[in-house]
Chain A
Amino acid sequence: MAGRLSGGAARVRRTVTRATILPLLVRCGIAVAFFGALTVAWPVSIVTSRYAGVVVLAALWPAVAPRGRSVTLVAIAVVGGWIADTTWYDSRVALWRVIVIATLLYLGHTLAALAAVLPTDAVVNPAVLTGWLTRAGLVVLGSAVLTVVVLSLTAGLAGGAFLLATLVGMAAAVTATVLIARLLRRP
């Protein structure tokens, strides 16, 4: 047990001493993105209470272990907090919050995808990072425009959910998911 602990400590020390700046920045970006998303999504009363430490820990987890399930779980936690805040804490669905949460969630997700394949001690060509962030920026920009358009269109319908619309929406959701999954099998 002691041997395993000391081996782990030596591995951590080696990782830290060999780490280079750009992979470290990527991991910092993941932590900042998820911290921002959690702070904006969760109710203010929780974020400012003594549970703030939990928020920080939850944001750091995907940055430390981007290869595991941490990113998925933290993203679900962000949306769970958002649903809780807008359902039980009676917060308004503000446009800026939706845009900020969507943007930060996607940035955290895509930076975690980069960190999962980028070793911490790598010598990174800056073109890798700029290319990756440019693609993420375009995606975020497109979805932000979509958000503005859709939220302004549905402003009058907020809260009015009809059975037919629900069924059509459900079918659309399933179709979209299956389509993305099938994109892989395309020749």
Chain B
Amino acid sequence: MTVTDSPTLRAAVPPADAGAAEGWSAPAWVPTRALGRTVLLTGLFLVLGVALGRVDLVLLAAPFAIGAAVGLRRMPRSAPELTIDADGDHIVEGGEVHAAVTVGNPDVIPYDLVVLRTRTSPWVKLEDADRPFAVRVEPDGWTAVDLSGRAVRWGRQDVGPAAARVAACGGLLACRPVVVPAAGVRVYPETEPFAATEALPAAAGLVGNHRSRRPGEGGELAGVRPFAPGDRLRRIDWRVSLRTRDLHVAATLSDRDAEVLLLLDVLGEAGVSGGVEGKASVLDTTVRAAAAIAEHYLQRGDRVSLAEYGSTARRLRAATGRRQYLTVLEWLLDVRASSDSAEDFVFGAHNVSSDALVVVLTPLVDPRAADMLAGLVQSGRFTVAVDTLPADASAAASGPFTELATRLWRMERENVLGRLREHGVPVVTWAGAGSLDLVLRDVARLASAPRGR
């Protein structure tokens, strides 16, 4: 072998076979019962006509024979092409969803009948989506069935899967059902209006919108004090200096930003969701409230992070700005009730920055959530609990003692809430705008007290 010989190289990727490249296996066209009937009746009438010497019987078979010949003169060769298109641009709960199922006919004969069936998520109300659609598709053409409607609940909703069954050649041949997987539609939660005017308890960093409690460079006037070495000349308050005949400077509080951690309790779901216009379940309230709080603090320039308290334990790192708001909305779409109930989840104060305001959105149904809250407060985190349990939540009546048991459970829950308040956890029921103002004031007062135990 000389150096000029080209080395024999083997393709690293095995060559794809033709069938796989086409995307479907052999076209699955099968004869229908109508074809069997055509053959049977034609044969029977012809044989009877000849055996009895009757031309009229032969003529009775003529339409069947002519129909079969007309229908089967050209055979379908390929499978129908089915696609689902769903318009997925920034749909908010209650918004319009536009979806379409398109059947393409790559063949040379028309599809006499295409029966389309679609399944959609229960939270996407599409017009007539529960009915099959019967359409005709011309050769080398396509037909689209428009499915318009409303998305009534947040989350990743499915439009589809869709199935098509095609009859061709006058109903003598039918195609095995062609199924396409569902197309996803992202439905963002509707944010309830939320505003909190109270300052955050502990602002960190050197930039931001919150006045801190520390003197420094900022816009908020803290007072006037005598000039000291190191003060900048532009800070001198000339009016006071002239009056007092001594140099005074205007002291300001430094502007700081803060981190807000929204902790979502997904240990369980309670209540029945009625969509955007119906009653809200625990997860509905949790997600909508989280979106509203995140929007509020992100607009003010704070850093917002999110975390789930549940088996999945997802986290979203702290960041600020509009991009983070969109990321938060995307992150919220995947909030699910935790399925695993036996495990003891590890979520402690070590996961939380010491300066962060922790807003825990919880129905306080699971005792582990109460333990976690108490642990957070004990370790000195600024914690606010938002009660997301619907006011009318109750167990489905399954026996004569259900109502009594529900009342007992409610009393026990009130007891837990009282004990949490004793521990210093402010618990507030979610009520949209101004929900957190009162408790934030309390937490801020706590924060101004000396830290440490």
A71 to B59, CA, bound (A): 19
B63 and A140 contacting across the interface, CB-CB below 8 Å:
yes
Cβ of B408 within 8 Å of any chain A Cβ, yes or no, is no
A117 and B32 contacting across the interface, CB-CB below 8 Å:
yes
A109-165 contacts to B (CB < 8 Å): 109-110, 112-114, 116-119, 121-125, 127-128, 131-132, 135-136, 138-140, 142-143, 146-147, 150-151, 154, 158-159, 161
B56 and A113 contacting across the interface, CB-CB below 8 Å:
no
Provide the residues of chain B in CB contact with A138, threshold 8 Å: 70
A128 and B134 contacting across the interface, CB-CB below 8 Å:
yes
Among A93, A106, A172, contact of B67 (Cβ-Cβ < 8 Å): A106
A138 to B276, CA, bound (A): 54
Provide the residues of chain B in CB contact with A118, threshold 8 Å: 113, 115, 134
Cβ of A28 within 8 Å of any chain B Cβ, yes or no, is no
Among A82, A103, A186, contact of B63 (Cβ-Cβ < 8 Å): A103
B48 and A113 contacting across the interface, CB-CB below 8 Å:
no
What 6 A-B pairs have minimum CB-CB distances, sorted nearest first? A161-B53, A173-B46, A113-B171, A113-B34, A177-B43, A106-B63
A78-94 contacts to B (CB < 8 Å): 79, 82-83, 86, 93
Cβ of B416 within 8 Å of any chain A Cβ, yes or no, is no
How many contacting A-B pairs (Cβ < 8 A)? Answer: 187
Cβ of B395 within 8 Å of any chain A Cβ, yes or no, is no
B59 and A176 contacting across the interface, CB-CB below 8 Å:
no
A136 to B171, CA, bound (A): 11
Q: Give min CB distance, A81 to chain B, whole Å.
A: 12
Cβ of B49 within 8 Å of any chain A Cβ, yes or no, is yes
Cβ of B51 within 8 Å of any chain A Cβ, yes or no, is yes
Among B42, B67, B128, contact of A123 (Cβ-Cβ < 8 Å): B128
User: In this complex, which of B46, B55, B75 has the most chain A Cβ atoms within 10 angstroms of its Cβ?
Assistant: B55
Cβ of B405 within 8 Å of any chain A Cβ, yes or no, is no
A180 to B56, CA, bound (A): 20
Q: List 7 A-B contacts (CB under 8 A).
A: A72-B40, A103-B63, A128-B135, A132-B171, A135-B70, A180-B68, A184-B75
How many of chain B's residues touch chain A, expressed as a range? 35 or more
A82 to B60, CA, bound (A): 11
Cβ of B131 within 8 Å of any chain A Cβ, yes or no, is yes
Cβ of A33 within 8 Å of any chain B Cβ, yes or no, is no
Cβ of B247 within 8 Å of any chain A Cβ, yes or no, is no
Provide the residues of chain A in CB contact with B171, threshold 8 Å: 110, 113-114, 116-117, 132
Cβ of B66 within 8 Å of any chain A Cβ, yes or no, is yes
Cβ of A102 within 8 Å of any chain B Cβ, yes or no, is yes
Residues A143 and B113 in contact in the complex (CB < 8 Å), given A72-B37, A173-B43: no
Q: Give min CB distance, B419 to chain A, whole Å.
A: 52
Cβ of B64 within 8 Å of any chain A Cβ, yes or no, is yes
Q: Which residue of A lies closest to B75 (CB)?
A: A186
A74 to B170, CA, bound (A): 20
Residues A143 and B63 in contact in the complex (CB < 8 Å), given A125-B135, A183-B68: yes
Cβ of B436 within 8 Å of any chain A Cβ, yes or no, is no
Cβ of A166 within 8 Å of any chain B Cβ, yes or no, is yes
Q: Which residue of B lies closest to A140 (CB)?
A: B63
Provide the residues of chain A in CB contact with B65, threshold 8 Å: 176, 180
A158 to B143, CA, bound (A): 52
B50 and A170 contacting across the interface, CB-CB below 8 Å:
yes
A98 and B56 contacting across the interface, CB-CB below 8 Å:
yes
A180 and B69 contacting across the interface, CB-CB below 8 Å:
yes
Provide the residues of chain A in CB contact with B352, threshold 8 Å: none
B132 and A122 contacting across the interface, CB-CB below 8 Å:
yes
Among A117, A136, A147, contact of B113 (Cβ-Cβ < 8 Å): A117
A117 to B133, CA, bound (A): 12
B63 and A105 contacting across the interface, CB-CB below 8 Å:
yes
